[in-house]
Chains A and B, each alone.
Chain A
Amino acid sequence: MDAPGKVTGTALYAADFALPGMLYGKVLRSSEPHARLVRIDAGRAARLPGVRAVITAADVPDVRYGGSVKDERVFARDRIRFAGQPLAAVAATSPDAAAAALTAIEVVCEPLRPVFDVAAALAPGAPLVHDAWASYTALPILHRDGNVCNRARIVVGDVERGFVEADRVFENRFTTSSVHQGYTEPRAAVAQWDSSGQVTVWSNTQLPFEIQTTLAEILQLPPSKVRVIVPGIGGGFGGKLRIGVEHFAALLAMKTGRPVKVMTTSEEELTAAYARQPATVAVKTGVTNDGRLTAREARLWFDTGAFAGSGPGVASVATLMLAGPYRIPNLLLEGFAVYTNKTNFGSFRAPSGPQANFAVESQMDIIADALGLDPLELRLKNIVREGEEGPTGQVLTAVGLEECLRRAADAIGWRDRRPEVGRGKGIACGWWTTTGGSSGVYVKVNPDGTVALNTGAAEIGTAALTGAAQVLAEDLGVQMADINVVSADTLSTPFDFGAQGSRTAFAVGNACRAAVADLKRQILALASKHLGVEESALALREGSVVGAGKRATLGELARISQASGGGLIAHGTFVAPPTPYDTKRVEGHVYPAFHSPSFHAHATDLSVDAETGEITIHRYVVAQDVGFAMNPAAIEGQIEGGVAQGLGQALSEEIVYENGRVLNANLTDYKMPTARDVPRVESILVQHPSLVGPFGAKGVGEPPNIEPPAAIANAVASATGVRITSLPITAEKVALALRERAK
């Protein structure tokens, strides 16, 4: 529904949004990674031409906020914790004037001993990123200790016994780099206060209701005084879940009495946004000689940066991903979120998925090679099947994994795994959740017979609201063209948990089904009265109620209802039913089970230049169990985009740090793949209907991003015999590894 406007360039995004008299805000960010903030003097900046306000920590309420741990402030107050941390903000009549004012703010600070990575943060005697961590308000379930802001754990059986039962035990270590979501539209917000003391913020957030709550906390206002509207989102992929620039816009607008717009630069995006957490993963797996997995002990350490943010949750999800979609009787899995003096890394499409999957699926191939087994056969021998348990004891249903693996392997021509020298095929599989959370919709029939869908979810570009509208059209018997969507306004739309976790089409679609059920009752009762026909003899068909040879259009009934009873309108809600799991198996865990899990397999065929290490991908196949393919073209679009993004993480993208500072904070040296780098992606839609999703659908948006690094690593190993254990798998790493081996 949103595609024509986006293709023709007429769609409105938050970055386009402007108001009369609007000022432009810019944020002064620390150049020091860890320091005591001695003094900040904005006097000279405030007197520069065009400058209307300069604010620092002294001008804003002293509030610490955060989803799972309240450890972050709007501006650094006495301590700077990463290079890029906001110190002050300026509002001026032009972006240039605001930028000029930033350079006139004087900052005096004394450097402190920093911790730049997980190993340094966990070393004995390491400086604490937050001295007062123990006093912070936090989710009670978290296991926190010094620089560890959560340790999530799954324990099943007895891993030591499992390793004794094994014939071979494999221990491997993997590392991944931070990568940015690469959304086309930077984070942007415009804020305006009205005379009643209400602030309205137009923002490209994925979660307007969370931003409303966070802003209310920061501004010390009741949430009803904060209205968040999403005019449009030019890509988010998890990077626009948490507060970005909304608070700066709101605070500067409050101070100046004028609307203020704040938009990030590429440099800010690459130094101070919510890029994917770098990870270190250690996996120890026991296996019998015939390839049966007996035990796995795995630990994944996320660098969460200076604040907890999404870290504690993502560390929890990671443990489920470390188990993989495998039946392993003994498990000890831990996910850590560790503070360092870097930006607060965050959620990125299938958070934790690619990091954990890269480790686990690389190791599956290492095991297969060592045992002389076919990697596909090793997987088929160990994957979870219908009715079996997931790692935390959830009962798995609609498990389409075997079909995914077999079809991806068949499509890539798996029997001929090394067709020529320097060429090889790789496979990787995984599972993922369809995130729960609640959705509400209002559905109204208009007097012309069209239908308005009012949802609190934002269309993030996945066609998720198109999917929800398709569900609505199907159930109500109207055309897609007759549906209009109103979305994502915290004042006027019903609550929605937001555009995250592959849940939008799933949850909003189900809320639409509930609304239609109510609406149908209203419509049939009214039609029965109007047509003089028993309700049981009536049916909804093609925009009309028909029965006993009579017919009333929905428009006609809406007009009657408006004249007599206020109109045809229904409220539908959905919340994913809880997935039962064994609570004794988990600790410090905020995400103990995957709702309506999806299953997938990726296979690729590539060549490696033995001298330069350059990788050429010939084919890339994805077989994904989507439950029910509501909109095959849109799903294929999600798969193609997810793979392109995954290949970036696999092959070329990394935010490079040196002593806490980003070396490549520009789009020249941060290497997202171009159209010439991405092969045609072949999608196979496998459909094992979920019990909960609308028409059996499962979440589809995030999964395609999970397997590309592992599939590429396995294919490179197949082609060259060289195993690369760190991301990205650059040509340089491959070439130098080949050279080392030749010695």
Chain B
Amino acid sequence: MTFDYHEPTSVREAIELSARFGGDGRFLAGGTDLMVQIHRGRLNPRHVVSLQCVPGLDGIEVDGAVRLGARVTHRRLESAEAFQGALRGLAEGAEVVGGHQVRNVATVGGNIVNASPAADVVVVLLALDATLTCLGPAGERTVALDGFATAPGVTGLRPNELLTRASFPRLAPRSATVFLKAGRRRAMEISIACVAARVTLDDLERCQDVRIALGAVAPTAIRARAAERHLEARPLTDGLMRETGRIAAAECRPIGDVRASARYRALLVATLVPRALARCLERIKLGAP
């Protein structure tokens, strides 16, 4: 395990270095995935380009939209004031990742480009309709997070491109977000299934806008679109929420592995989806004037 370590001080310099190294280079943010993969011999980059000293990548901006710099850590998502209200689901997704040491360094950008199907924060961002800003030698482009990951560890990021931020629109009034996760232990745990829900209710208590995203039950984090459609313009009754859970369970494509069986993963989706919806409802009611 040997590589040259580079510490550029601007985005431009980082991209130049990346263009120079091509397939031999990797960006380093928190390193909680990259270093493990290098250590286990799965990746062997000759050049590691640290983003540590690149300015402008660690902001949390909230105005018309919410913008998260790629280097924003899980710890900051957990503790940001902006994510204690209707966006609480984002803090909930962040605070269950790894342990304190991991969350102190692990970043939003790293979580997205690592493209694990079990990436907790990615599941919440999917439910928030997040878009990604990628900067490369040819300039900047914006792509949807949904569909960005195409397989475990594979994304639509182009060679030499740097993911600089994730953005999502602010929530309408009467909205809430919730994240729920199941695993074998309460910390240092990779989800065996996780669910993020975002609900906006209209004045008649009907679902005006709903997103349901699922983690660890398909090759990538996915949206449960049939389940979302099932709720359109309907009030969230217990029966409807349970039905929606069953629909989500039917549209996920889990595998069985050493962490859990496919059957249990689907069962968890059927259970966690209605719980997440019910909690959204509860939060909207609590938050309503």
Instruction: Give the B-binding residues of A (Cβ under 8 A).
Output: 96, 611-612, 614, 651-652, 656, 663-664, 668-669, 671, 673-677, 730-732, 735-736, 739
Quote the shortest CB–CB distance from A733 to chain B (angstroms): 9
Q: Judge whether B286 is part of the interface by a CB distance below 8 angstroms.
A: no
User: By the criterion CB–CB under 8 Å, are A671 and B271 in contact?
Assistant: no
Quote the shortest CB–CB distance from A179 to chain B (angstroms): 14
Docked complex: B256-284 residues within 8 A CB-CB of A: 257-261, 263-264, 267-268, 271-272
User: By the criterion CB–CB under 8 Å, are A612 and B185 in contact?
Assistant: no
Q: Which residues of A contact B186 (CB under 8 A)?
A: 674, 676-677
Q: How many residues of B contact A (CB 8 A)?
A: 22
Give the interface centre of B184, B257, B259, B268 by most chain A CB atoms within 10 Å.
B184
Docked complex: B1-22 residues within 8 A CB-CB of A: 1-2
Quote the shortest CB–CB distance from B188 to chain A (angstroms): 5
User: By the criterion CB–CB under 8 Å, are A731 and B184 in contact?
Assistant: yes
Q: Which residues of A contact B212 (CB under 8 A)?
A: none
Contacts beyond the supplied A612-B268, A669-B190, A732-B260: 7 A-B pairs with Cβ under 8 Å: A96-B2, A612-B182, A669-B258, A669-B259, A674-B185, A674-B188, A736-B267
User: By the criterion CB–CB under 8 Å, are B267 and A735 in contact?
Assistant: yes
Chain A, interface SS category: loop
Q: Which residues of B contact A673 (CB under 8 A)?
A: 185
Q: Judge whether B147 is part of the interface by a CB distance below 8 angstroms.
A: no
Q: Which of B1, B189, B190, B271 touches A611 (beta carbons < 8 Å)?
A: B271
Q: Judge whether B152 is part of the interface by a CB distance below 8 angstroms.
A: no
User: By the criterion CB–CB under 8 Å, are A664 and B258 in contact?
Assistant: yes
Q: Given A669-B259, A736-B263, A96–B1 Cβ distance below 8 Å?
A: yes
User: By the criterion CB–CB under 8 Å, are A674 and B99 in contact?
Assistant: yes
User: By the criterion CB–CB under 8 Å, are B185 and A736 in contact?
Assistant: no
Q: Which residues of B contact A96 (CB under 8 A)?
A: 1-2
Give A267's nearest chain B residue, CB to CB: B40
Q: Judge whether B187 is part of the interface by a CB distance below 8 angstroms.
A: yes
User: By the criterion CB–CB under 8 Å, are A677 and B260 in contact?
Assistant: no
User: By the criterion CB–CB under 8 Å, are B184 and A676 in contact?
Assistant: no
Q: Which residues of B contact A671 (CB under 8 A)?
A: 184-185, 189
Q: Which residues of B contact A731 (CB under 8 A)?
A: 182, 184
User: By the criterion CB–CB under 8 Å, are A730 and B184 in contact?
Assistant: yes
Quote the shortest CB–CB distance from A391 to chain B (angstroms): 37
Give B2's nearest chain A residue, CB to CB: A96
Query: Cα distance A671–B260 when bound, in Å?
Result: 13
Docked complex: B210-267 residues within 8 A CB-CB of A: 257-261, 263-264, 267
Chosen A-B contacts, 20 in total, with CB atoms closer than 8 Å, are A96-B2, A611-B267, A612-B182, A612-B267, A652-B185, A663-B257, A663-B258, A671-B184, A673-B185, A674-B99, A674-B185, A674-B187, A675-B187, A676-B186, A677-B185, A677-B187, A732-B261, A735-B264, A736-B263, A736-B264
User: By the criterion CB–CB under 8 Å, are A652 and B184 in contact?
Assistant: yes
Instruction: Give the A-binding residues of B (Cβ under 8 A).
Output: 1-2, 99, 182, 184-190, 257-261, 263-264, 267-268, 271-272
User: By the criterion CB–CB under 8 Å, are B190 and A668 in contact?
Assistant: yes
User: By the criterion CB–CB under 8 Å, are A732 and B190 in contact?
Assistant: no
Q: Which residues of B contact A730 (CB under 8 A)?
A: 184
Quote the shortest CB–CB distance from A712 to chain B (angstroms): 14
Query: Cα distance A388–B186 when bound, in Å?
Result: 45
Q: Which residues of A contact B264 (CB under 8 A)?
A: 732, 735-736
Q: Which residues of B contact A663 (CB under 8 A)?
A: 257-258
User: By the criterion CB–CB under 8 Å, are A656 and B190 in contact?
Assistant: no
The 5 A-B pairs of least Cβ separation, nearest first, read: A676-B186, A611-B271, A674-B187, A663-B258, A732-B264
Q: Which residues of B contact A668 (CB under 8 A)?
A: 190
Quote the shortest CB–CB distance from A283 to chain B (angstroms): 28
Q: Which residues of A contact B268 (CB under 8 A)?
A: 612
Query: Cα distance A675–B186 when bound, in Å?
Result: 9
Give B98's nearest chain A residue, CB to CB: A668
Query: Cα distance A676–B95 when bound, in Å?
Result: 13
Give A609's nearest chain B residue, CB to CB: B271
Q: Which residues of A contact B2 (CB under 8 A)?
A: 96
Q: Which residues of A contact B185 (CB under 8 A)?
A: 652, 671, 673-674, 676-677
Query: Cα distance A730–B267 when bound, in Å?
Result: 14
Q: Which residues of A contact B188 (CB under 8 A)?
A: 674
Query: Cα distance A739–B267 when bound, in Å?
Result: 10
User: By the criterion CB–CB under 8 Å, are A676 and B263 in contact?
Assistant: no
User: By the criterion CB–CB under 8 Å, are B182 and A614 in contact?
Assistant: yes
Give B268's nearest chain A residue, CB to CB: A612
Give the interface centre of B260, B261, B264 by most chain A CB atoms within 10 Å.
B264
Quote the shortest CB–CB distance from B187 to chain A (angstroms): 4
Q: Which of A651, A656, A674, A675 touches B258 (beta carbons < 8 Å)?
A: A656
Query: Cα distance A652–B192 when bound, in Å?
Result: 13
Query: Cα distance A739–B271 when bound, in Å?
Result: 12
User: By the criterion CB–CB under 8 Å, are A676 and B187 in contact?
Assistant: yes
Query: Cα distance A731–B2 when bound, in Å?
Result: 42
Give B245's nearest chain A residue, CB to CB: A611
Quote the shortest CB–CB distance from B20 to chain A (angstroms): 26
Give B270's nearest chain A residue, CB to CB: A611
Query: Cα distance A612–B258 when bound, in Å?
Result: 18
Q: Which residues of B contact A677 (CB under 8 A)?
A: 185-187
Query: Cα distance A674–B183 when bound, in Å?
Result: 13
Query: Cα distance A87–B184 when bound, in Å?
Result: 35
Q: Which residues of A contact B99 (CB under 8 A)?
A: 674
Quote the shortest CB–CB distance from B244 to chain A (angstroms): 15
Quote the shortest CB–CB distance from A348 to chain B (angstroms): 20
